[in-house]
């Protein structure tokens, strides 16, 4: 019985000590430090490889200068002075599961002229070229049209003054899957700034 009473007294003393510590900490001005707010990362030069979401990438040797942001980790870049290609990755969480890309978003410089790119592609007998419609890329109006190739590839071409943007899939299904993530990139696109 004495052991039980000693345990109760010891428990009561521990509770009083704990309460005193809490009261002391509250009254002595102990404050939690505010969390630092993250500063936005500056633009990163686009070299190639995997892209990080939320980072603004800027081309280094491509003209006109482009900058953009990707929304997820499923993009791989290949940049050169003549072309910037963003390939859409195909992978799962399993190690070694990545498959070769089936779709891409690319940018290449072009010289405006007559006939237009749409007219030039319509002249090719091996292509099925859709009618073009105007689209807005940033603050510029562009012509957009689809192209079907004999091997099943599908391409959406967006022609601006001095720049051609192409969304390409190995099939119509691949092109359809690319459209939403590519549109998210194009919404962030800045040309020549």
Both 93 and 48 in one domain: the answer is: yes
Both 179 and 147 in one domain: the answer is: yes
Closest CA to 108 of 148, 80, 143: 80
Q: How confident is the model at residue 31 (pLDDT cuts 50, 70, 90)?
A: very low
Closest CA to 43 of 29, 28, 54, 31: 54
**Residue 10 pLDDT > 90, yes or no?**
no
Q: How far apart are CA 155 and CA 133, in angstroms?
A: 15
Average pLDDT over residues 36-64: 84
Both 95 and 187 in one domain: the answer is: yes
* pTM for this model (two decimals): 0.75
Residue 160 lies in a domain: yes
Both 71 and 134 in one domain: the answer is: yes
**Residue 138 pLDDT > 50, yes or no?**
yes
Both 68 and 152 in one domain: the answer is: yes
Both 172 and 141 in one domain: the answer is: yes
Average pLDDT over residues 36-47: 70
The predicted pLDDT at position 41 comes to: 57
**Which helix or strand (DSSP H or E) is residue 169 part of?**
strand 163-169
Both 83 and 107 in one domain: the answer is: yes
């Amino acid at each position: 019985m004495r052991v039980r009473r000693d345990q109760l007294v010891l428990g009561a003393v521990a509770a009083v000590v704990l309460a005193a510590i809490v009261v002391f900490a509250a009254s002595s001005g102990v404050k939690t430090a505010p969390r630092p707010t993250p500063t936005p990362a500056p633009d990163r030069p686009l070299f190639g490889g995997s892209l990080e979401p939320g980072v603004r990438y800027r081309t280094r040797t491509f003209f006109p200068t482009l900058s953009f942001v990707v929304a997820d980790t499923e993009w791989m870049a290949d940049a050169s002075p003549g072309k910037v290609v963003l390939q859409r990755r195909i992978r799962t969480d399993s190690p070694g599961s990545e498959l070769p890309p089936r779709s891409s978003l690319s940018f290449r410089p072009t010289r405006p002229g007559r006939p237009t790119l749409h007219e030039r592609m319509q002249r090719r007998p091996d292509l099925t070229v859709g009618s073009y419609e105007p689209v807005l890329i940033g603050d510029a109006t562009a012509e957009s049209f689809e192209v079907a190739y004999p091997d099943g590839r599908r391409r959406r071409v967006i022609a601006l003054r001095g720049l051609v943007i192409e969304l390409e899939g190995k099939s119509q299904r691949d092109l359809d899957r690319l459209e939403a993530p590519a549109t998210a990139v194009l919404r962030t696109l800045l040309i020549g700034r």
